[in-house]
Amino acid sequence: MNDVQNYIDNRNITVDQVGIWDIEYPIVVKDRANEIQHTVAKTDITVMLLPEFKGTHMSRMLEVLSSYSHEITMDNIPEILRKTREHLNSPQAIIALRFPYFIQKKAPVSGITSMFSANILFSGFSDETGGDSFILGLRVPVTTLCPCSKEISAFGAHNQRSFVTLYVQFKKFIWIEELISVIEESASCEIYPLLKRPDEKFVTEKAFSNPVFAEDVVRNISEKMMADKRIKWFMVETLHLESIHSHNAYARIERFKTKSTVLTEHLRMFKGFPRQ
């Protein structure tokens, strides 16, 4: 049968990314409390298509993924990408895996436990000339209370559920749970799936005593990231779903602590979480 994808293309245009998006696949994640956690990721995998080829072989991408069935981890993503490049004769490959990650949380007063979900991203990049790059992303819901509202009101203050997104590249392993804690400690109060009345009183009063603007949240997190010697690059953004306005509030900070050519190229192709 004719291999149409391998036909010569005369337009001499490189396709930066071509591949498959949103295929669900099982992965294994390191869990600080339970060693490992099994979850399911929505997976994107693409390659650069050289100008001489008419098309890519998307089935080969699935063949590579299938060869790592139930064993896709942070550790073997570089190997998966190198095999993808080899199988598709491509100088670059990138993979993104977005999945829910669960931790058990205790309510602050009653101690009742429930399962809390954060959205996690693994983004891996492989280049034949520049090596490998890996970015870990987290999106975590928190409570924020407006400092201005508290200052000008005789009683009470408006608050909102906010979503903080943090992306990091690190040179030494860092637990997902550590970064979740950094995010939660930088807001007015963390969110709990299950609260009894004494817990609700506690979180309401904690938020009221710790008001933060969107700018405060990203600055608080950035301060911790700059001080962490394991972090090479980070980007943090927060979206506050305003409760008294028709608009939302947004803030973002990005910093390079160590610049590299491969990270720069990775970021050019990078696709993080969709905006809320």
Task: Give the confidence band of 10 by pLDDT, cuts at 50, 70, 90.
Answer: confident
Contact residues for 19 (Cβ-Cβ < 8 A; gap 6+): 44, 45, 46, 47, 56, 58, 61
Q: In this structure, what is the dihedral angle of CA atoms 205, 210, 211, 216, given to the nearest 10 degrees?
A: -150
Q: How confident is the model at residue 33 (pLDDT cuts 50, 70, 90)?
A: very high
- Among the listed ranges 49-63, 223-237, 245-259, which one has the minimum average pLDDT value? 49-63
φ, ψ at 122 (rounded to 5°): -110, 120
| Mean pLDDT of the region 180-190 | 98
pLDDT at 71: 79
Give the pLDDT of residue 56: 85
Q: pTM to 2 decimals?
A: 0.93
Higher pLDDT, 50 or 7: 50
From 5-14, 23-32, 190-199, 263-272, the region with the lowest mean pLDDT: 5-14
Residue 231 is predicted with a pLDDT of 97
Angle at the Cα of 72 from the Cα atoms of 44 and 87, rounded to 5 degrees = 65
Q: How many angstroms separate the Cα of 221 from the Cα of each of 62, 65, 146, 227, 272?
A: 38, 35, 18, 10, 18
User: What average pLDDT does range 241-249 have in this prediction?
Assistant: 91
Say which range, 29-33, 192-196, 251-255, 257-261, has the weakest mean pLDDT: 257-261
4-269 is classed in which CATH architecture?
Roll (3.10)
Q: pLDDT tens-digit profile of 104-124?
A: 999 999 999 999 999 999 999
* Closest C-alpha among 200, 210, 275, 214 to residue 242: 214
Q: Distance between CA atoms of 100 and 141, rounded to whole angstroms?
A: 13
pLDDT of 100 strictly over 60: yes
Provide the percentage of residues in the chain whose pLDDT is more than 70. 97
Structure tokens at 4: 């149409």
Does 212 have pLDDT greater than 90?
yes
